[in-house]
Structure 1
């Protein structure tokens, strides 16, 4: 268990962070730039000192202001992957990796060289210097070096932020396997909701130095009162589904969820796999009757549960289709359709993003 309670004043900015995360899995520390995310993990790593509070990893106190405990960074058994990798430029990839191993005694070492090299797919890079690596390769080596310290906790500070889209797609599958393969809890800092949905099991939402909410991805991301902190129009419904048919006659994958079946372009995932579906609020239209002639394939009947007003122009409609489905329409459209809680409607889903699985 990771148990965090931190207070820190940085000029006029105040950090007030309190949350817990499990002994395995990925916990995303999510928020917009300037929310205080990096400040929090720097305190966890011992690179900055809180004014008060505590940091406990597996019940071991790394910092406790009341008990005057403050372990130095090298004693905390924490791996840290920075945004820019920070490889030693004069050392080869193998030497950079070996440096991580030297930071821990043989008796404490439980992460071994060969499994890390195999997982990250970097065996062909061992003799190269960092300047000969792509951005994605550098980050994979940086992850390997952090793993080889055999940490009790791995911190990752926006490790994909400096990479282009293709490099992000290259590195992301490796990150998603880390916690499972090595049973290491990960705290992953990001301001990208797509990254969080692809990688994380739990989320800690931060804003202006404060933890606003914490919990499972589905529970937090499906809260309409938090949409403004999670990307506004890019927010929406998060639905867990199972691959029922991986490639029908039309090249579509069928995803089974409690409200029925969603059809998406073919996914490179096997039948029975679990995926996470994201449906942005702006991609859901509402009709009072089921459309007969339309190109939209995913249409679901449901009952309006709640209507909220994020601003003077739009209405957020929560529809129960077996799971919560959110739609953002204009207030004018809401009034013209006489939409109120309890009314049965048809939700037309125009676009869907699938995470924990990739399009062919």
Structure 2
């Protein structure tokens, strides 16, 4: 299942000029500052807005082609859409909201799959209630259930967490993770929150002022220092694969193995040998020429400087390959050895006399590693 988009559209003063391809299922984060055209983009894909020209293909089906005058109506595109504000019918019960689209769908899910979705979302006890008696998190779960029960070929999520407080966001995020891992369909997830991107996304499309600046794997995109001045709120960092090596519930820490290096994080409550993914912001990585002693930071990782990006302003970005061996830089390019990104002041770089291929140490506080970490 894939999606290909190439569209141009003028809306007020914003000219949308977007092109990207997603070759496989998973969550693709559409990221950018407010006003960059993200919501207009997903409304066009959904068939709610007709673009001036372009092409939209979902799996093997062309749903819009300007040159061939193809423009399938929204109801025929097999798209599930979850809006920022849920948009439930206030006069209908949860049950009626859930099955509103499914009843009109010729491609119905088997009954056991429908029940599995309701059980996963925990909304069976809510069936007889009306939306005004639901919390914000419950409304979004019902909206997500409504979209899934329609058996879509693609799911569009337009900033589904932006109206929720932190506690409700943490309530909803695991459902999106389950969705990514168990429903093998493309998911476009519109957001301006980089933490959500790092936790949920497999792919990423960065937009600004109506244009796609870049797209690709979230692992490579979050390390793109060149996107920071272009996309406004973009915050470079690193997404790493790791495995839980051991844990100490009494000390409330978990010990991860990441490419042979130990990383200490707050206690995860997950079993040993569990694969996880973690996000470390470039601004949270310190650099030392020698291993520091008697400090509170638990993570001191030997690294080699493989890249120095001199930004306009007073900061500098470093690419730091795990390891001190002679081939560290080469291994980073050929074997996928992890690269950390660190953002430090130019004065610090000058004071430490940092240079390419220099062997240094990355220092990371446990509490700055973004969590909860997601399962692989």
Contact 2:222 2:235 in 1 (8 A): no
Using structure 2 for the length normalisation, give the TM-score. 0.90
Are 1:286 and 2:303 an aligned pair? no
Q: Which runs of 5+ in 1 are unaligned?
A: none
Which residue does 2:109 correspond to in 1?
110
Q: 1:179 to 1:323 in 2, by over 3 A?
A: closer
Which residue, 339, 352, 370 being the options, matches 1:324?
339
Cα drift, residue 248 of structure 1: 6.3
Contact 1:23 1:58 in 2 (8 A): no
Cα drift, residue 123 of structure 1: 1.0
Q: 1:211 to 1:234 in 2, by over 3 A?
A: closer
- C-alpha distance in 2, partners of 1:249/1:85? 41
Q: How does 1:167-178 map onto structure 2 within 5 Å?
A: 167-178=168-179
Q: 1:209 to 1:82 in 2, by over 3 A?
A: same
Cα drift, residue 174 of structure 1: 0.8
Which residue does 1:338 correspond to in 2?
353
- C-alpha distance in 2, partners of 1:308/1:181? 39
Match of 1:66, SS state, is helix
- C-alpha distance in 2, partners of 1:233/1:66? 35
Q: 1:312 to 1:242 in 2, by over 3 A?
A: same
Which residue does 2:370 correspond to in 1?
353
Cα drift, residue 229 of structure 1: 5.0
Q: 1:143 to 1:248 in 2, by over 3 A?
A: closer
Contact 1:268 1:357 in 2 (8 A): no
- C-alpha distance in 2, partners of 1:190/1:110? 29
Contact 2:224 2:236 in 1 (8 A): no
Deviates further, 8-17 or 166-175: 8-17
Which residue does 2:240 correspond to in 1?
239
- C-alpha distance in 2, partners of 1:336/1:284? 17
- C-alpha distance in 2, partners of 1:52/1:140? 35
- C-alpha distance in 2, partners of 1:198/1:174? 12
Q: How does 1:193-212 map onto structure 2 within 5 Å?
A: 193-212=194-213
- C-alpha distance in 2, partners of 1:266/1:329? 28
Are 1:254 and 2:255 an aligned pair? yes
Match of 1:246, SS state, is strand
Which residue does 2:40 correspond to in 1?
39
Which residue does 2:101 correspond to in 1?
100
Cα drift, residue 227 of structure 1: 3.3
Q: How does 1:58-73 map onto structure 2 within 5 Å?
A: 58-73=59-74
Contact 1:275 1:355 in 2 (8 A): no
Cα drift, residue 99 of structure 1: 1.0
Contact 1:275 1:354 in 2 (8 A): no
Match of 2:19, SS state, is strand
Contact 1:259 1:323 in 2 (8 A): no
Deviates further, 79-88 or 310-319: 310-319
Q: How does 1:78-227 map onto structure 2 within 5 Å?
A: 78-105=79-106, 108-110=107-109, 112=111, 113-227=114-228
Match of 1:241, SS state, is strand
Q: How many residues align?
A: 356
Match of 2:33, SS state, is coil
Cα drift, residue 184 of structure 1: 2.5
Contact 1:111 1:149 in 2 (8 A): no
Residue-by-residue CA offset, 1:332-351 (whole Å, 9 max, x unaligned): 11111111112111111123
Contact 1:111 1:148 in 2 (8 A): no
Contact 2:32 2:233 in 1 (8 A): no
Using structure 1 for the length normalisation, give the TM-score. 0.94
- C-alpha distance in 1, partners of 2:184/2:289? 49
